[in-house]
Structures are given as C-alpha cells and as structure tokens.
Copies of this chain bind each other. A is one copy, B any other.
Amino acid sequence: MVDTMTAPSLLNINQMNLSTGKKARLYRLMYRFGPGNGKLMILPIDQGLEHGPVDFFDENNDVMHCADPEHQFQLAVEGRFSAIATHIGLAERYFPKYAGRVPLVLKLNGKTCIPSDEEAFSPLTSTVEDAVRLGADAVGYTLFVGSPSQDRDIAQFMQVRRECERYGMPIIMWAYPRGRDVDAKGGKNSLYAVDYATRVAAELGADVVKVNYPEINPAKMDSYPAPYNTLRLDDLEAARKVVASAGKTLVIFSGGSRVTHEELYDNVHTAFKSGAVGLIFGRNMWQRPMNEALEISEHVREIFKKY
C-alpha cells in the first residue's frame, strides 16, 4: 500500500535513469542554482500570454512594476531562483543580460485565455532547438489532460519529448486538467483530476511535472468519479497521493493564489512533506515589491533547506 500518512523520501536525479544531457542540465537547476540541495524553486513569467496584462495591475487598478519583464528577470537572479520560465519573446529580449546568472526554462507552448477552455489546446510558440540555441536548461510544456483536444496535445508533446531526447534537454510538464469533460467530473483542481494528470505526465515521459495542489471540495464530491467521491484525505494526504502517482517523475507544486505570507510558507512546507522537490511561484512573488519579494524568497529558501 502506498502510504499517504508519512513523509516520503525525496526523489533524486540519480534514481531517474536520465540521459547524460538531461542529468547535466537538471543538475545545474537543482544543485548549482536556487536552493541548491536537489530542489527546485522556479519563477514563471508566461502570464502575459496566458492571462494578458490583467495580472500586472494592483488592487487600485494601477499598472505595477511587474508589467516590465525586466522585473521578473532581476527577481529571478537576485532572489536566487533555480530558473526563470518564459516564452521565446521575453527570452530573446531580456534573457541575454542575465544569461549564465540564472537558468532558463523555455516554455514551448501557450495560448491566450480569450476563447473558452472547453477544448483547450496550446500550440507551440517555440521549439527545443530554440531552447538549445538560447542555452536553456529545460523546456516547459503545457498538456491539457482530459481536453477533447488531447489527441493533438499528446501527439505534439510526443514530438517535443523526442526532440528533448535528441538534445538531452529536460522537460517539465505543466499537467493541467482542462476542458468540458474535466468540468463535468468535478473540475480542474479536484484530486481526481490532478492525480490523473500527474500519472499522465509520468506515463508520457515528463522529467518534472508541475501541478496545482489538489482540492477535495465537499460540495463537488458527487461529481468525482469513484473512488474519489468517497475519499476523505486532508490537504497533505492529497498532496502525497499526487506525488506518489508521479513515481519517478519529479513533482513541483504551484505556489497558488493564496496571498498571505503564512499561507505561502505553509504551501512550501506541504510541498516537501508530500515528497515534491519544489515549487513554482509567480504572482505570489513578482506582484510584490522587489524588496518584499526578495525577503520572501529568502525565507522560502530557508524552508527549502530544512527538508
């Protein structure tokens, strides 16, 4: 029986049968940058494509510093993140100045949120070869697990995976349950959906999988497929369940949209108690003023070192 009650040991890259190139690059992310003890703390700035500039307003509807990508690159370097994750456009324009000082994760596919997500699919915005050319240490791919467009998505991921194999490039899958059928079965954040998505990442050959924390929403229990409709797990148990489903694929959790410092730190603790190797923080970091973001990232790194 898979134990969701006690903390699992941390998966490390020697247990994953990685190719030489993948290992060399992941090693850089996990040991040479960021917290540096085999963990991952990633700063993404792809929201300008995925959500549009709406994410760059403050509560007074003023445009914030974070609308300028320079901010995220500075924060990634000074906050000593393991990597910054961006699409090709920002990578081409802003990364050169920081190249070598923080690893790059090139996000390979994306879309706007203007059309509905009923049949969500993210086309390629760049290639593995672009990533190699820019000196990236990993690529990111968003797979919409369960979308009616999954046939195109899985096929597109397969091509990306093969290119990654060819170049020794690690591949991080943003495994996102999405689409009308996911909605009908309890939604994109349900344990059912996140657990399934995590296993899909492992089955399809991702090296790292990024997922949101799963929720078990009492109000939606009836819509969850069995046996998830009767499972009684707390947040940590649910997270452990997800990490167990990843098997030998490294898991990183999303920092989430909760805003207080304490909640953010709790999320970090939960990640490691569940066996994940790290987190990805976006708005929770770069929507704050630089000084505050640096303090938080410093504090987060300290938590990272406890595990």
Contact = CB atoms under 8 A, between A and B. Distances in A.
Contact of A202 (B89, B112, B122): B89
Nearest to A121: B151
A87 B203 contact: yes
Contacts of A69: 202, 247
A211 to B, nearest CB: 13
A2 B199 contact: no
Nearest to A59: B227
Interface string A44-78: 00101100111011100111110111000000000
A137 interface: no
B49 A225 contact: no
A41 interface: no
A177 B87 CA distance: 20
Contact of A114 (B89, B185, B248): B185
A217 interface: no
A48 B201 CA distance: 10
Contacts of A162: 127, 130
A100 interface: no
A203 B110 contact: yes
A135 interface: no
Interface string A165-198: 1000000000001010110010000001001100
Most chain B beta carbons < 10 A, residue from A64, A67, A192, A225: A67
A219 interface: no
Contacts of A127: 158, 162
A126 interface: yes
A177 B146 CA distance: 21
11 contacts: A16-B93, A17-B92, A48-B199, A48-B203, A49-B199, A89-B204, A92-B205, A93-B249, A115-B179, A123-B150, A123-B154
